[in-house]
Structure 1
Amino acid sequence: MIQQTLQGIIRRLRRWLVWLWQQEGTPGQRARGVAAGVFSGCFPFFGLQTLLGVALASVVRGNHVLAAIGTWISNPITYLPLYWFNYQVGSALLDQGQNEFDLTQLNSQNLWAQGWTFSTRLLLGSSLVGASVALFASCVVYGWLKGPAKTRQRFYRRRSQSKHD
C-alpha cells in the first residue's frame, strides 16, 4: 500500500518534470519565469502575487505559466515562516535599536510610525530574500534544463514505459 502510494507520487513527479521540459521557451526563458514567480511570491501581497509574477515575467521575457507556479513558494503552510524570516532579515539590516514592537505603548499617535517600521522591515527583507531565492531557483532550473540530454531521455523513456503499464 505504501509502496504503491510512493510509486504514484514518483510517477506524478516525473510527469511534472516532463511537463516542465515541454514548456514553451528556451531554458533561459523558463528559468526567468520561475525566478520572477519566486521573487513575487516572497512578498506579502496576498492575492496579487500571481499577477505580479506574471507581469514581472513579461518584463524579463520569462515563461508566464512557470512564473505563476513560482509564486507558490508562499502558501498557507509557508506564510508564517517565510514572512517571519523576511522580517528578521529586514530588521537586521535596519536595526536602529527598535527591533521589537511595544504594543503597550500603541496608540493612535504612534500607530502609523510602528506600522511604517514594520512594513519597511518586511518589504526590505522580502526584497532581499526574494532576490536571493529567485537567483538560486533560476540557476537550478536553468542548469537542470540545460543538463545532459541523457537525463532527459531517461525521464522520457520512463514516462513512455509507465503509460504502457
Structure 2
Amino acid sequence: MPKMSRPQWRRQLRYVYLRFLRLQGSPEQLARGMASGVFSGCFPLFGFQTILGVAVATVLRGNRLMAAAATWVSNPFTYVPIFAFNYQVGHWLLGGGTTQTFQDLDTLTSWMDMGTEVSVRLMLGSSVVGAIAGVVSYVVGLPLIRRVRSRQIARQQRQLDSPKL
C-alpha cells in the first residue's frame, strides 16, 4: 500500500467531512444514528455490529448511515481494550468469581470456550457500557452536529448573497 502524502491525506479528510455535511436528516436524527452505532459497536458481535446499529437506528428513527459508520468505534485496534473493559464492568456488576483478563485477540476469541459465565459478564458489561457510551455520544454529538450544520447554512447563505461577476 503506497504511503499517502500530506495533501492526499487532507483531501481524503475533506472528502469525509463533506460527505458528513451532506447526510440527510435533522441534527437530532444524525445524533440518534451516531448513538445507535456507538451503542452497537460496544458488543462483541463481529460482523453483526453494523446490522444491530442500523436496526437500533431504525427503531429510534435515527440516521442509518451514521449508525453504520459509528459502529467503527470498535475496530481491530480497539477490540481488546473495549471488550476487556466491558467484561470487567460485567464482572463488577455481577460480583464474585475469578476475573478473566483478555491479553490478546487469541484469548478474546476463546471466551466462548470459558462458558456462559464469561459470556454473560461480557454481554452485560457491553450492554451497560454501550448504553452509557450511546447516551454520551448523543449528548456530545448533537451540539457539534448543530454547530457544523449552522456553519454550513451560513456559508451557503453568504454564497447566495455574494454578487456574481
Deviation, structure 1 residue 14: 2.9
Could you say which residue in structure 1 is the equivalent of 2:89? 89
Letter in 2 for 1:48: F
Whichever residue aligns with residue 139 of structure 1, its letter is V
Residue pairs, 1:11-90, within 5 angstroms:
11-90=11-90
Mind listing any 5+ residue stretches in structure 2 that lack a counterpart?
102-111, 157-165
TM-score (norm 2): 0.75
- In 2: Cα distance, 1:25 partner to 1:151 partner: 16
Task: Give TM-score scaled by structure 1 length.
Answer: 0.75
State the distance in 2 between where 1:149 and 1:25 align: 11
How many pairs were matched up? 143
Give the residue type in structure 1 aligned to 2:71: T
Q: Which residue of 1 aligns with 2:140?
A: 140
Deviations 1:70-127 (A, max 9, x none): 11111111111110111011111111243349xxxxxxxxxx9x51210111011101
C-alpha contact (below 8 Å) 1:50/1:71 kept by paired residues: yes
Cα distance change on mapping 1:129 and 1:149 into 2, 3 Å: closer
Q: Percent identity?
A: 44
Secondary structure, counterpart of 2:25 in structure 1: coil
Q: CA RMSD in A?
A: 2.7
Q: Tell which deviates more after alignment, 6-15 or 81-90.
A: 6-15
Structure 1 runs (4+) greater than 6 angstroms displaced:
153-156
Which consecutive residues of structure 1, in runs of 5 or more, have no partner in the other structure?
102-111, 157-165
